[in-house]
Structure 1
Amino acid sequence: MNFQVLLLTFFAILFFSAVEVEGRRGHSHSHSHGHG
């Protein structure tokens, strides 16, 4: 297994997770204050 591939996969997961979190936060920004 190539180390580069592993690193790329790790970065991909991190990027996707960050995008999901940002999208969730941007969706409800008026009412929610940080409960969940």
Structure 2
Amino acid sequence: MPNILPSIFVPLVGLFLPALTMALLYFYIQNDDIF
């Protein structure tokens, strides 16, 4: 079980972290255009 967990967790973070960063940048740019 401990060997299976990182193989699921690492790609999940690898996909989630850039998606979160792009989402925050997108909302920041959208708010910047409004003001």
TM-score by length of 2: 0.69
In structure 2, stretches of 5+ residues that fail to align are 1-5
Point out 4+ residue stretches in structure 1 off by more than 3 angstroms: none
Long gaps (5+) in structure 1: 31-36
Q: How many residues align?
A: 30
Q: CA RMSD in A?
A: 1.7
The structure that is helix-richer by fraction is 2
TM-score of the two chains, using structure 1 as the length reference: 0.68
